Chain A
Amino acid sequence: MAWFKRILELLGSDLPAVLLAIVLLVVSANVFIRTALRESFHAAHDIAMLAFAGVVWFGIIGASLNKQLLGVRYFVNKLPPRPRHWLQALTHVIIIVISFDVIRAAIAQVETSRFTKFLTLGWPKWIVAAALGVAMGMIIVVQILQLFELWRTRGGR
């Protein structure tokens, strides 16, 4: 299981960090090239937008893995341990259902938007929707792992 979590961390923490560095460097390089060298870096915009989408889609895998997705836990935390346990399980199931539906939407988007492209790179724009689908798939895996952990801690009591 540890190696699997490492892959998820690689995808959800390391990859977004690298992509964020790319966005930062590309935009800064564009400013430098434009103001100091009086040249233009046409691909900067497309590279930045693509890497940025990657930061967000893959970043939520890491946030989900580390249980850092922003949510309102106030009411749930007021509950006694047993119902809270079940409610947490229900929360994971709801996220899985929602993520499935987003994957379905992403597949539909990939199938229908064949013609729009990133102008300077020439890459199809559906790759952003495809990345969203992959991220949602990984979030489902994370939720299943967390459900499993929740079940184990319940069994341990």
Chain B
Amino acid sequence: MTIVVIAFLLLLVLGIPIAFVILGPSLLYLALNPLMSSIVAQRMASSLESFPLLAVPFFVVAGAFMGVGGIAKRLYDLADALVGHWYGGLAQVGVLNSLFIGAMSGSANADAAIDARTIVPIMRLQGYSNGFASVIAAASGSISPIMPPSIGLIIYGLLTGTSIGRLFIGGIIPAFIMTAALLLMVRLISWRRGYLPSRPARLPLRETAARARDALWALVMPVLLIVGLRGGWFTPTELGAIAAIYAFIVGLFIYRGVLWDEVIGIMRESACTTANVLFIVATASLLSMILALEQAPQQMMSALLSVSDNKYVVLIIINLFLLILGTVLESLAVMIILVPILLNVIQNLGVDPVHFGVVLVLNTTIGAITPPVGTVLYTTCSITGCSIEEFAVEFIPFFLALVCVLFLLTLVPPLVTFLPNLLF
């Protein structure tokens, strides 16, 4: 097993795509052990035979049509009407906009990319530093994987067998807490640096109402989806399909932001994103089998329980461990590799899997922003042209704010479990 771990780290450092970083050592393990080679293809193929996994491409498509179709722009205008008069007006708009976008897309990368393309250039023109603007795009993107629907929560639900509906509802309060924490941090920094509001006074109520009316088709969508889910019309996976079709129809026929010619391009891009993410999921199923064969979950469990049998102490240790791991590993890979191992630990300690799921997804999302390795970090910096060093310095206060929220959610489980227990 040692040689497999060394091979894994070596391939990772060499810059090999993550899926092949997982595949290579797994194949090496199978070569060193008497197992049938067909198991590789069998595990990879069967890992995709999961209907709930279809939600991933559906929300990717929904996010793409929202970004192009005009939904994102109208939500931005509404956010501007609500918080544009606060200190650091544009930055506040960026954060609040992410809460709205998060209610439809579910991907931190998609959200950060939308903000990096739309809000960051305007922020720079208005005197914000590129680093600060880029960090706003990335940090506010962390709300999306917590606010339902969330691709991260869907994958966690699939890996653990936890109800995706309960996970979705469990993410609502944490997403609002994260938004409040980020808005507060933006306000503090803007006040110190003199980042002025976008406008001197609050917009008249009539104007705000007009913008809300303009964004009505976008605002109605999450409500319709939650009602449809609770009403039993469709499953969380089918909800993704309906969201994608809804975003397509609104973008094409109502807001007229999408042209027919652009549809194939959007579908191509969505298919590429889907393949990128789910190929990692397929290869990780092989790795999780190997970890099970090596009894890694049991070893991990006994190691953690030897430190303490208090669930909060263990949860804090897991959080610290994941935060460190998140700086060097891709968030999805962290989740796929460790969730099957950690599941045994949390079940033995009596932790609610919905609570753990939301905490874990938030933790891995923070990992996706922290340098040196993070997909959200790379997505944002590649669009805005910000250096990793500048980003890292500007991210510190937002990192602290997000970590505070993480530990608050870890230590106060009802913040996550209250709504799902009430509704299910």
Contact = CB atoms under 8 A, between A and B. Distances in A.
Interface string B33-57: 0001111111011001101011001
Interface in A92-134: 94-95, 98, 101-102, 104-106, 108-113, 125, 128-129, 132-133
Contact of B41 (A49, A74, A102): A102
Interface in A60-111: 60, 62-64, 66, 68-77, 87-88, 90-91, 94-95, 98, 101-102, 104-106, 108-111
A145 interface: no
A97 to B, nearest CB: 8
B272 A66 contact: yes
A23 B57 contact: yes
Interface string B14-42: 11111111011001000000001111111
B280 interface: yes
Contacts of A109: 38, 40-42, 45
Contact of B272 (A13, A87, A105): A13
Contact of A56 (B18, B36, B48, B241): B48
A24 to B, nearest CB: 6
The majority secondary structure among interface residues of chain A is: helix
> Of B53, B233, B234, B272, which is in contact with the most chain A CB atoms at under 10 Å from its CB?
B272
A77 B119 CA distance: 28
A27 interface: yes
A91 B274 contact: no
Given A20-B61, A30-B238, A59 B42 contact: no
A91 B45 contact: no
A62 B245 contact: no
Nearest to B375: A70
Contact of A71 (B18, B61, B274, B372): B18
B11 interface: yes
A150 B213 CA distance: 54
B279 A87 contact: no
B15 A49 contact: no
Interface in B91-136: none
Contacts of A69: 17-20, 276, 279
B13 interface: yes
A68 B382 CA distance: 13
A25 to B, nearest CB: 9
Interface stretch (B143-151, B169-177, B184-192, B263-271): B263-271
Q: Which of A70, A77, A95 has the most CB of B within 10 A?
A: A70
Interface of B: 11-21, 23-24, 27, 36-42, 44-45, 48-49, 51, 53-54, 57-58, 61, 233-234, 237-238, 241-242, 244-245, 264, 267-268, 270-272, 274-280, 282, 328, 330, 372-373, 375, 388
Given A27-B54, A75-B15, A112-B36, 10 more contacts: A16-B271, A16-B272, A17-B271, A24-B61, A28-B242, A31-B242, A49-B49, A66-B272, A75-B14, A102-B41
Nearest 4 CB-CB pairs, A to B? A59-B275, A69-B17, A105-B40, A108-B38
